[in-house]
Structure 1
Amino acid sequence: MIEPDSSRSRPQVAYDVFLSFRGEDTRKTFTDHLHTALVQAGIHTFQDDDELPRGEEISDHLLKAIRESKISTVVFSKGYASSRWCLNELVEILKCRKRKTGQIALPIFYDIDPSDVRKQTGSFAEAFVKHEERSKEKVKEWRETLEEAGNLSGWNLKDMANGHEAKFIQEIIKDVLTKLDPKYLHVPKHLVGIDPLAHNIFHFLSTATDDVRIVGIHGMPGIGKTTIAKVVFNQLCYDCGYGFEGSSFLLNVKESESKDMVLLQ
């Protein structure tokens, strides 16, 4: 039997995806649907909430979240540039992209043309009229950052899936999963009672044998069945270096099957 190697740890990142967006535009619509899809796909996501009271400077907590994310996904909407907070987030996101850490910046153009972001036209031009009055010292940096972001390869709702948001989100999820490979499934820290159960399952599955083994984890809702499965999956696929040609973790199979069998496959 191969034991999990405690010397090999999860990659030193806190999140798979940092989600930057203008809450007034998309919090209860597109971004909410995107966040839900990311989580259901097993992607550990930090969703900033620009509705919280704050000043113009980004908090240390938020800076840490941006810097410790593998991918920063920026949802550009018509009101994005009106938020100084969002613009400051974007500055930090692109700074992280330039560092040699492999961090990815993925723009999503929701109901806005990339050229409006790149050239600060349309609703972005209107926002900058106000910024010129209130935050003149920051305007140059913001404009340069938006120009850079507008030139990045990303996703444009108007050009993809005939504008259908659900299909658009599915394509984004596929892209994110590809960029995250190989990835750990997120498991909360300081779990109680999970490790011994996961160890027993791991012992059963990893015992030297050529046969196919199937394990069923049964119990009441909320007792940690999915968490146990994630721990075992991480151990088998990543911690112990088995070198599988492929591996999949299918979450919410019953729900997904009823909605879209092709997507599940």
Structure 2
Amino acid sequence: MASSSSSASNSQDRRRWKHDVFLSCMIEDTETRFTRSLVSGLKNRGIFTFRYARLEHGDSVLQELSRAIEGSQLALIILSTKYAESSRCFKELEKIMECKDKSGLTVLPVYYHVNPSDVRNQSGRFGDAFAEHVLRYKDQGMQMVQGWRTALTAVANLKGWHIRDGDESEIIRQIVNDIASKICKCTCSFSLLDVGLEKVSPYLR
């Protein structure tokens, strides 16, 4: 009975997933060579990434992003100085960490030319950018900003990659391989449980 229940639960989880990877980053960062190469590398492995597109603003976009996060197997967060300038990024981050705690979403941070300790403590260049939000929202109550602080501290305690100066291609390769292995493990598990050995995941081919 326990095995049957586990198989049914896994099957439901698989149907819920609409995206392989949710990419959380400042929109300007998506134009960097690093991010473009990373997304391209994932695509070449058959892993497709949901990215924010600057189409419109407002609650409807935030709701769409929340649904995309809930429907993703893995969240990849590019933490940059520009990331700290965006309230939309922080709202994404808070939702990502919520899904990590509630549904086991896999979360992988990338520290892009920022120090992990600065993210954890909201200090340094990252802290300078974050301080602008503190000033902006001080008259609207600090509960939202405190939620962002909590999410930043939590994500900074996760294992990730620290991008500094130099050739980024090797780190991109490592990130793509790591994500591919995690996506593969999830998909393989469901394939073997749900459809048997004849219809295995395309990631195994």
Of the three residues 61, 64, 82, the one matched with 1:61 is 64
Of the three residues 31, 41, 51, the one matched with 1:37 is 41
Q: In the alignment, is the contact (CA less than 8 A) between 2:108 and 2:160 conserved in 1?
A: yes
Equivalent in the alignment of 2:110:
108
Distance 2:59 2:119 in 1: 21
Distance 1:93 1:235 in 2: 26
Distance 1:132 1:41 in 2: 41
Equivalent in the alignment of 1:146:
152
Of the three residues 85, 90, 100, the one matched with 2:88 is 85
Equivalent in the alignment of 2:5:
none
Report SS of the residue matched to 1:107. Answer: strand
Report SS of the residue matched to 1:181. Answer: helix
Equivalent in the alignment of 2:167:
164
Distance 2:197 2:107 in 1: 29
Residues 243 and 53 of structure 1, relative CA distance in 2, 3 Å threshold: closer
Q: TM-score, normalised by structure 1?
A: 0.63
The Cα offsets for residues 124-157 of structure 1, whole Å up to 9 and x where unpaired, read as 2222332122223322111111111111111112
Distance 2:187 2:63 in 1: 25
**Uncovered stretches (5+) of structure 2, i.e. residues with no partner:** 1-10
Distance 1:42 1:9 in 2: 22
Distance 1:240 1:64 in 2: 30
Report SS of the residue matched to 1:46. Answer: strand
Residues 47 and 139 of structure 1, relative CA distance in 2, 3 Å threshold: same
Equivalent in the alignment of 2:121:
119
Q: In the alignment, is the contact (CA less than 8 A) between 1:90 and 1:145 conserved in 2?
A: yes
**Uncovered stretches (5+) of structure 1, i.e. residues with no partner:** 1-7, 186-233, 250-265
Q: In the alignment, is the contact (CA less than 8 A) between 1:111 and 1:157 conserved in 2?
A: yes
Report SS of the residue matched to 1:59. Answer: helix
Structure with more contact order per residue of length (Cα contacts < 8 Å, sep ≥ 6): 2
Residues 110 and 35 of structure 1, relative CA distance in 2, 3 Å threshold: same
Equivalent in the alignment of 1:200:
none
Q: In the alignment, is the contact (CA less than 8 A) between 2:22 and 2:74 conserved in 1?
A: yes
CA RMSD of aligned residues (A): 2.9
**Aligned residue pairs, count:** 187
What is the 5 A alignment of 1:1-265?
11-12=14-15, 13-49=17-53, 51-55=54-58, 59-99=62-102, 101-136=103-138, 137=142, 138-158=144-164, 163-182=166-185, 184=187, 239-242=195-198, 248-249=204-205
Report SS of the residue matched to 1:11. Answer: helix
Deviating runs (4+, > 4 A) in structure 1?
A: 234-238
Once the two structures are TM-superposed, the CA of residue 29 in structure 1 deviates from its matched residue by 2.2
Once the two structures are TM-superposed, the CA of residue 163 in structure 1 deviates from its matched residue by 3.9
Report SS of the residue matched to 2:46. Answer: coil
Q: In the alignment, is the contact (CA less than 8 A) between 2:81 and 2:129 conserved in 1?
A: no
Identity within the alignment, %: 34
Higher helix proportion: 2
Once the two structures are TM-superposed, the CA of residue 57 in structure 1 deviates from its matched residue by 7.7
